[in-house]
Amino acid sequence: MEGNNNIVAGVFARGRSKGIPQKNLRKLGGKPLVAHAVETALACQDISKVFISTDNPEIAETAKRYGAEVPFLRPAKLATDTASEILAWRHALNHYAAEGAPIDILVTVAPTSPFTLPEDVSACIRVMLEHRPDLVLTVCESDLNPYFNMFEEDEKGDAKLVIKGNLPVFRRQDATKVFGITGGAYVARSEFVQKSPGIFIGNLRLVKVPQERALDINTEFDLHFAEFLHSREEM
């Protein structure tokens, strides 16, 4: 733990998933996805403890087996497809505050990003402590770029670049760099989580990770690709 900051990590894992049933319990390299996230968080020295936020008792028990605290089961209304993620974060902060153990900085590590390294999470924490933004998140440079190769279509079917600059861009390398969210790690100040209407409304900082650590598992294809990548790591 750094200075007087109580830095706590949460693994937020709903029980239901439309893309992959029981996604957070699916295995990669013989280990449930939720376990990968718990172990990644536990490996970060600045984090004082790791908890699981889930509505599913089986996910809770699995996370506990790998070293996470299970302080509560998340209310069902905060575990739907339409529930805002920041509300689940806020629920966890309120729980620990009521227990007399308020969290200063909340770290989240996603089960669906199993290639996120402890070093990536620690880098996010360092940026938070050095620059004090509202939120730090992991990103990866995107191949799709609204200045170069992304289009929007109007009701007539006519298309145009999402963002048209003052000068035409003929090569992706010349376009303004843009970054996609990996979902792997977020680090947020608790007061921001309590007051903000949304995760990305505030002063943000980015930690860039390479493409091989940016996979976010949302479909069976993603999971098969993750298995392929994991098998290469073991070779």
Does residue 235 sit within a domain?
no
| Same-domain status, 94 and 192 | yes
**pLDDT bracket for residue 3 (50, 70, 90):** low
How far lies 111's CA from each of 26, 39, 114, 130, 180, in Å? 10, 10, 6, 27, 18
The answer as to whether 1 is a domain residue is: no
11 and 123 part of one domain? yes
Are residues 90 and 137 located together in one domain of the fold? yes
Given a contact cutoff of 8 angstroms between Cβ atoms, the answer to whether 112 and 26 are in contact is no
Q: Are residues 160 and 131 in the same domain?
A: no
Closest CA to 210 of 123, 135, 131, 129: 123
For the domain that residue 37 is a member of, what is the CATH number?
A: 3.90.550.10
User: Cβ(196)–Cβ(179) under 8 Å?
Assistant: no
Is residue 20 domain-shared with residue 109, that is, in the same domain? yes
pTM of the model: 0.91
If one counts the domains in the chain, the total is 2
The answer to whether position 149 is within a domain reads yes
Binned at pLDDT 50, 70 and 90, residue 78 comes out as: very high
On whether residue 132 sits in a domain, the answer given is: yes
Note the pLDDT of residue 1: 45
pLDDT category at 113 given cuts 50, 70, 90 is very high
CA pair distance 110, 185, nearest whole angstrom:
6
**Do both 103 and 207 map to the same domain?**
yes
Give a yes or no: residue 234 inside a domain: no
Indicate if 60 and 159 belong to the same structural domain. Answer: no
Q: Check whether residue 16 and residue 118 sit in a common domain.
A: yes
The answer as to whether 96 is a domain residue is: yes
Going along the chain, which residue ranges are E strands? Answer: 7-12, 27-28, 31-32, 49-53, 105-109, 135-141, 151-153, 159-161, 179-189, 204-208
- Decide which of 173 and 202 is more confident: 202
85 plus 129 within the same structural domain: yes
Please indicate, yes or no, whether residues 119 and 198 belong to a single structural domain of this protein. yes
Bridge partners of residue 136, in order along the sequence: 187, 205
| pLDDT bracket for residue 172 (50, 70, 90) | confident
User: Is residue 82 very low, low, confident or very high in pLDDT (cuts 50, 70, 90)?
Assistant: confident
Whether 130 has a pLDDT exceeding 50, the answer reads: yes
Mean pLDDT of the 155-159 span: 94
Give the pLDDT band of residue 17 (cuts 50, 70, 90).
confident
Domain-embedded: residue 114: yes
Question: What band does 114 get if pLDDT is binned at 50, 70 and 90?
Answer: very high
Cα dihedral: 90, 96, 98, 102 (round 10): -90
Do residues 86 and 134 both lie within one domain? yes
The residue range of the domain holding 33 is: 7-141+179-229
Q: How many C-alpha atoms does 197 have within 13 Å on its Cβ side?
A: 0
Q: Quick one: 29 and 129 in the same domain?
A: yes
**Residue 204: pLDDT above 70?**
yes
Predicted pLDDT at 235: 56
Check the CA dihedral 211-87-11-43 and report its sign. Answer: positive
Residue 2 lies in a domain: no
